[in-house]
Amino acid sequence: DRVMLEVERLADRLKGRLAVRRRRERRGQLDVRRTIRTAFRTGALPVRPVFRRRRRDRPKLVLLCDVSDSVRMAARFLLVFVHAVQEIFALTRSFVFVSDLGETTELFATHAPDRAIALAYGGSVISVASNSNYGAAFAQFVARHRDALDARTTVVVLGDGRNNYNEPNTQALREVKRRAGRLLWLNPEPPGAWGFGDSAMKLYEPLCDEAHSVHDLASLRIAVDRLVRR
């Protein structure tokens, strides 16, 4: 549909912009002192600039997506986007959850995004019939997949933080933050709704490096630009 085409166009623009930036980074930064020393030694005219090379390792990405009914459309946008830009990252792993958490990395590696998303929503990875339980999902991630996290890893949680009054388990999310390089949260609800009713966002937000409201293409564009910035 039109929205998904816009998401794919956004991914293409982002990849192009990053390609230009990385070409500049590979070239390096002008080293004035070495340039002058080289010119004096050789008497070379014109002066040949010497660049200081800077090695940058590609970041890793871990995506934790709530696929309950309340955030399903936003989760679909992000899953398609991440599939489209995975080459930006050295390693991308994706997980979906409602109450239980399951990995979808292999699902996206072997199927087109729409098919992979349909399978995930159809219960091929986890039961999608239960009520959201963020605390339980975070606990499962830390217990089973903490090895996915290191200083190069950006973790992105997509969800509304509505925990159905279950134990929020902020300690598990704090452990994710401690092990990862960055923790971002994308929430399809406006900030004014965070913390009301069964929303645990006011407990989760302080543990994140950044938390963004993502409710349309414009806000998605801002959020994914932050996602790939280092």
Per the confidence metrics, is the pTM higher than 0.85?
no
With contact defined as beta carbons under 8 Å apart, do 131 and 123 qualify?
A: no
Query: In whole angstroms, what is the distance from residue 159 CA to residue 213 CA?
Result: 10
> How many residues comprise the chain?
230
Of the listed ranges 24-33, 82-91, 184-193, the one predicted with least confidence: 24-33
**What pLDDT was estimated at residue 202?**
97
**What pLDDT was estimated at residue 150?**
95
Token pair 């020393």 in the structure block, residue: 37
| Dihedral sign from CA coordinates of 148, 154, 158, 164 | positive
What is the per-residue pLDDT across 144-173, written as a single tens digit (0 to 9) for each? 999 999 999 999 999 999 999 999 999 999
Q: Which residues of 76-105 are buried (b: 16+ CB within 10 A; e: fewer)?
A: bbbbbbbbbbbebbeebbbbbbbbebbbbb
Backbone angles phi, psi at 136, to 5 degrees: -65, -40
With contact defined as beta carbons under 8 Å apart, do 166 and 136 qualify?
A: yes
